[in-house]
Amino acid sequence: MSNKNHQYDIVCIGVALVDSIVRGFDPKPISKAGFFADSGVLSVGGEALNESITASKLGLKAAIVTGLGYDAAAELIIGELTRNGVDISNCVRKEEIQTPVSTLLVNADGTRKSIMNHSHRYNFHPEKYMEVLKMTPAVAIGSLFRPPFNDPQIIRSVLSEAKNQGLVTYVDTKLPNYNTLSLEDIKESMQHIDYIFPNEDEAAFYSGEANPDRQADVFLKYGVKTAIIKLGSRGCLLKNAHERIRLTAMEIEPVDAVGAGDNFMAGFITAKHDGKSDGEALRFANACGAICTEYIGATTGIKNKEQVLARFT
């Protein structure tokens, strides 16, 4: 629960970027260098941005700590954060930062491929801007194993400071793109994670296990308090030392899976802020992730808490 002295309910730290989303790409050329697609749109994205916007829409006072350049992509991001009520006073803007831009090729079933570039190496050091942690009861890290959280020293600095401040820590994960870390490489930091949110592929990669229960057990062995494995169309699994909860996925017609995991995590954080149990928070999160996939874009589906509660109940 939020303390009345806290300026924010949640601070999200990590990447903000622009996605160029191409849906229904036809690989058959119509000319020497021309191709067709069903649609092409620009949408802001990145784990920290998606989580902060969704949390704000769900009623939390959300802030973001991210690095941006002075380019057109950064202006799109700042505008979208501001329109959605996210505090941007902790955004760090520098000439040497190139704001990341991704191209996403989205299939009819909502699955996608992402095209990255060297801007995704992300020359940003969030550990230098930790005063904001005094202003919140909780922090969301997005995403572990991707820049800037693919450096063990950065991971240790941010998570240890969060726990020194008594914060609840929520940590998203991604498969590596540049530096590859193992759980062993960051074992000193794992004990500072209250909730970790890998999807099944990520959990398999880092745990070496195929079974979701055993995947969760590996994270718990390293000191994580609660592991939540996102299983896509098969639902999700929550496991800690006290309970195991398995939920099936909601019945939906998916359009775009981009950002579903970030919406899921923001929903869980919101429900925990509201004093809900882990089980109740998991069901609310499940609805948030499902709603996200019914719309194109990572932050377009969720409108407000009432919308989710209508599906949740």
pLDDT value of residue 110:
62
Report yes or no on whether pTM surpasses 0.75: yes
Instruction: Report the distance separating Cα 134 and Cα 138, nearest Å.
Output: 10
Where are the domains positioned within the chain? 10-26+36-308
Quick check: helix, strand or coil at residue 247?
Answer: strand
User: For residue 259, what are the CA distances in angstroms to 81, 109, 225, 296, 310?
Assistant: 15, 15, 24, 10, 21
CA 14 to chain centre: 9
Instruction: Report the distance separating Cα 145 and Cα 151, nearest Å.
Output: 8
**Domain spanning 10-26+36-308: CATH superfamily:** Ribokinase (3.40.1190.20)
Tell me the DSSP string of 217-258: HHHHHTT-SEEEEE-GGG-EEEEESS-EEEEPPP----S--T
| Structure confidence by residue, pLDDT tens digits, 24-48 | 888 889 998 899 999 888 889 899 9
Instruction: Report the distance separating Cα 129 and Cα 90, nearest Å.
Output: 8
Q: Quickly state the pLDDT bin for 1 (edges 50, 70, 90).
A: very low
pLDDT value of residue 106:
77
